[in-house]
Copies of this chain bind each other. A is one copy, B any other.
């Protein structure tokens, strides 16, 4: 099959590799219908995460089940399915608490930018669609696999409440999906921090009420100005740098909440500053599986349309161009069709 390989930072290739095969009787093999490039893939592409040896890449997928292991009871060949980037058993204490990405048996699902994919713990990981999705639904359903689920978790972790004032740090696909989530959870005011016209437009379309273009101290001051001098009730940190974390923490009112979903890179939080801020902080890899059924319902009913974050679609063989377009910020997010 054809699969996307990161050979080294900046070097993406689509190569012929062996088809995946069953490893455990709880596995499923999917034929990928749609996949995409994640902001977190760029950490590798840019060499910020080490790339020790060439390896398959990608972790977002919508696919058709081709084969299931003997111990898979609920997922059947022929079903259209979506899953998260972490396989989970959906039965351990952490899954039962809704934190599937802390599943005691979690396993990273890698290599999704390919024609086929092995998914471990298929029964716990995959959610089947009621039928074959129509072409217009594919992008929004694919978004649920990661960015929409992650934006949703950011809003939940930031405890967005009806009527609340929410600020979103980061105008990537996750931040934009965070705007959708905040809106759906009833936020009264949604401040999107963005300097890019096309992303500002999408944020407004998704429900943002204010755009803040300033950053750093000026950005913090602007948010305080918009929020009675005290800061936002809930802030979604969707980047993962020391600067964005500081932006988020200092833009939140005492008693407010930050939800952080950008994987932190060189982020240290000063205990005393956090203490005196009275701000609560919860982050983590989004437990997408917990909300997948709900998100799929919203998409199929047309209540949310996160697929709009894909502003470029390419055939799988052009994966290298997909990475370049995102790296150069020519595209928000690129969908790949095998």
Contact = CB atoms under 8 A, between A and B. Distances in A.
Interface in A99-149: 99, 101-102, 104
A287 B94 CA distance: 32
A154 to B, nearest CB: 12
B284 A271 contact: no
Given A229-B93, A254-B102, A255-B94, A245 B264 contact: no
Candidate in A260, A268, A274, A287 with the most chain B CB atoms within 10 angstroms: A274
Contacts of A102: 254-255, 278
B276 A93 contact: no
B94 A230 contact: yes
Contacts of A98: 255
Contact of A281 (B229, B245, B282): B282
Interface centre among A271, A283, A284 (most CB of B within 10 A): A271
Given A102-B255, A280-B282, A285-B276, A268 B267 contact: no
Contact of A284 (B157, B230, B267, B278): B278
A275 B260 contact: yes
A107 B285 CA distance: 40
Interface string A224-259: 000011100000000000100100000001110000
A255 B255 CA distance: 19
Interface in A268-297: 268-272, 274-285, 287
A97 interface: yes
Copies of this subunit:
2
A312 interface: no
A271 B255 CA distance: 20
A129 B285 CA distance: 49
B263 A274 contact: no
Interface residues of A toward B: which range?
A: 35 or more
Contact of A94 (B254, B260, B285): B254
Contact of A272 (B99, B267, B281): B267
Interface in A189-241: 228-230
A139 to B, nearest CB: 28
Given A94-B254, A104-B229, A278 B282 contact: yes
A146 to B, nearest CB: 16
A275 B263 contact: yes
A93 B284 contact: no
Interface of A: 93-94, 97-99, 101-102, 104, 157, 228-230, 242, 245, 253-255, 260, 263-272, 274-285, 287
Given A93-B230, A94-B230, A269-B271, 15 more contacts: A99-B254, A102-B278, A104-B229, A263-B272, A265-B272, A267-B272, A268-B268, A269-B274, A274-B281, A277-B284, A278-B282, A278-B283, A279-B282, A280-B280, A281-B281
Shortest 4 CB-CB distances between A and B: which pairs? A267-B271, A264-B271, A102-B254, A280-B282
